[in-house]
Amino acid sequence: MAFEGLAERLQATFDKMKGRGKVSEADVKEMMREVRLALLEADVNFKVVKKFVNDVKERAVGQEVMKSLTPGQQVIKVVNEELTALMGGEQTKIATAQKSPTVVMMAGLQGAGKTTTVAKIANHLRKHNNRKPLLAAADIYRPAAIDQLETLGKQLNMPVYSLGDQASPVDIAKGAVEQAKEEHCDYVLIDTAGRLHIDENLMGELQEVKQAVQPDEILLVVDAMTGQDAVNVAESFNEQLGITGAVLTKLDGDTRGGAALSVRQVTGVPIKFAGVGEKIDELDEFHPERMASRILG
């Protein structure tokens, strides 16, 4: 990756201060400037960065950093802790309904990775949690989405519920839940339509699906490469649909993953999974502390 790590940069800043005895408030300010740049380069939304840096500064100007013999290290520690806390601290699992099947609805813009992620999560649930998922093909607008999901289902040897592209997403979602009950599947993962941009029709349709099947989990799929835009996407989906979690895809690409922090900050919902490649098994549970280290570089 082409980024210079924050650790190195802070060290360089600190080296300049050496020989001047104690760290001053001005020194902390300079270190904070480096923190700010590192976060912006990691594609964290600028408003989120501003608030974050102010919070950290308060802590840094306090005892911990100023009195430390290794202020550079200390700042990194504080930043790391704060970032981890902001992303929820602990890893958060996907929901399980008290009464089977657990209904999981996916949402997101076209190309974010919804269809792929449906299969990845299904695979994850079976492999790690011994679950029996059913996949529902309710993205009736993207021509290849239904075929894509059916192919993935075959590959996984899992049932895929489809009514073709003439049925309504609501009917497909309801039908899938019924079939899951009949076949004793304990998860229904509903792939939904995306658009290139957020529009009212899309949101209206997603709201109808939500209304019809009352999902236990609504996961927003966000492309980590979209950086700053991720904030607007997450905000709109959360306001208009209400999401319970997020999945960040394409973290295998050349991104520091600042979108993780932004998405978490604007929605308040946990990020549950990270997509790290195109293959079905390239999905990780999301770990806030690992992401904090990645964002800092």
Interacting residues with ligand GDP (CB under 6 A): 108, 110-116, 142, 145, 194, 249-250, 252-253, 275-278
Residue 251 assigned to a binding site: yes
Least separation in angstroms between CB 213 and ligand GDP: 19
Residue 10 assigned to a binding site: no
Least separation in angstroms between CB 93 and ligand GDP: 19
Which lies closer to ligand GDP via its Cβ, residue 143 or residue 253? 253
Which lies closer to ligand GDP via its Cβ, residue 148 or residue 244? 148
Measured CA to CA in angstroms, residue 37 lies from 42, 55, 292 at distances of 8, 16, 15
Task: Write down the residue that tokens 């293959």 correspond to.
Answer: 279
d(CA 220, CA 270) in angstroms, rounded, equals: 10
Which lies closer to ligand GDP via its Cβ, residue 69 or residue 196? 196
Residue 252 assigned to a binding site: yes
Least separation in angstroms between CB 222 and ligand GDP: 10
Which lies closer to ligand GDP via its Cβ, residue 101 or residue 194? 194
Least separation in angstroms between CB 144 and ligand GDP: 8
Q: Which alpha helices (H) appear in the chain, and where do they start and end? A: 6-17, 25-41, 46-61, 63-66, 71-86, 114-129, 145-156, 169-182, 200-213, 229-240, 258-267, 288-296
Strand partners, 246: 220, 271
Q: Residue 253: phi, psi to the nearest 5? A: -80, -170
Least separation in angstroms between CB 145 and ligand GDP: 6
| Count of Cβ atoms closer than 10 Å to residue 292 Cβ | 21
The burial of 129, by beta-carbon neighbours within 10 Å (0-12 exposed, 13-18 middle, 19 or more buried), is given as: middle
Task: Please tell me whether the peptide bond between 169 and the residue prior to it is cis, using omega within 30 degrees of 0.
Answer: no
Which lies closer to ligand GDP via its Cβ, residue 23 or residue 118? 118
d(CA 260, CA 2) in angstroms, rounded, equals: 19
The angle formed by the CA atoms of residues 7, 9 and 14, to the nearest 5 degrees, is 95
Residue 275 assigned to a binding site: no
- Which residue's CB atom is positioned nearest to ligand GDP? 275
Residue 22 assigned to a binding site: no
Which lies closer to ligand GDP via its Cβ, residue 111 or residue 175? 111
Residue 88 assigned to a binding site: no
Least separation in angstroms between CB 277 and ligand GDP: 5
Binding-site residues from annotation for GTP? 108-115, 191-195, 249-252
